[in-house]
Amino acid sequence: LCCVLLCCAAHSDRKQQNSVQKPELTVTLSCNYSVRAENLQWYRQDPGSAPRFLLLITDTKEPSVVEAKPPNPRLTAVLNQERNQVHLQISSAAVTDSAVYYCALSYGK
């Protein structure tokens, strides 16, 4: 189970004439598991809503990713088999990405 709340604070200076570009922020959520997983999934739950499927890694031996329809191009799944970890990377993270994120897995007998 992995949860995260992203928070941002903005400051504006009305005297400043030039705009400053902010660097893109990539957030990485990590999930550890201790059994041989057949597949790993990530879900997002917004307040007052049911969890929503984001993506699935179908096989941890020969991984492939199945994304939700429509896919979110800012989401990337990274599997580290040696450490039994799966990561969800959110590029260009923003306040609108604030939610509870869950990882889940199914495993064989």
- Residue 82: predicted pLDDT: 87
- Residue 109: predicted pLDDT: 63
| pTM of the model as a whole | 0.74
* Domain assignment present for 34: yes
- Residue 29: predicted pLDDT: 97
> Closest by alpha carbon to 90, among 6, 7, 26?
26
Could you list the mean pLDDT of each consecutive 10-residue stretch along the chain, which spans 109 residues? 32 41 84 89 97 90 87 93 92 96 88
* Domain assignment present for 15: no
> Closest by alpha carbon to 68, among 86, 93, 95, 88?
88
- Residue 6: predicted pLDDT: 34
* Domain assignment present for 13: no
Find the CATH number of the domain harbouring 81.
Answer: 2.60.40.10
* Domain assignment present for 50: yes
> What's the rounded Cα separation, in Å, for the pair 14 and 82?
51
Tally the domains of the chain.
Answer: 1
- Residue 10: predicted pLDDT: 31
Phi, psi of 96 (to 5 degrees): -65, -10
- Residue 21: predicted pLDDT: 57
* Domain assignment present for 68: yes
Query: Which residue in this structure is represented by tokens 């041989």?
Result: 36
* Domain assignment present for 9: no
- Residue 14: predicted pLDDT: 35
| Residues 88/75, Cβ–Cβ less than 8 Å | yes
The two structure tokens encoding residue 73: 């191009």
- Residue 105: predicted pLDDT: 93
For residue 100, give its domain range.
Answer: 27-107
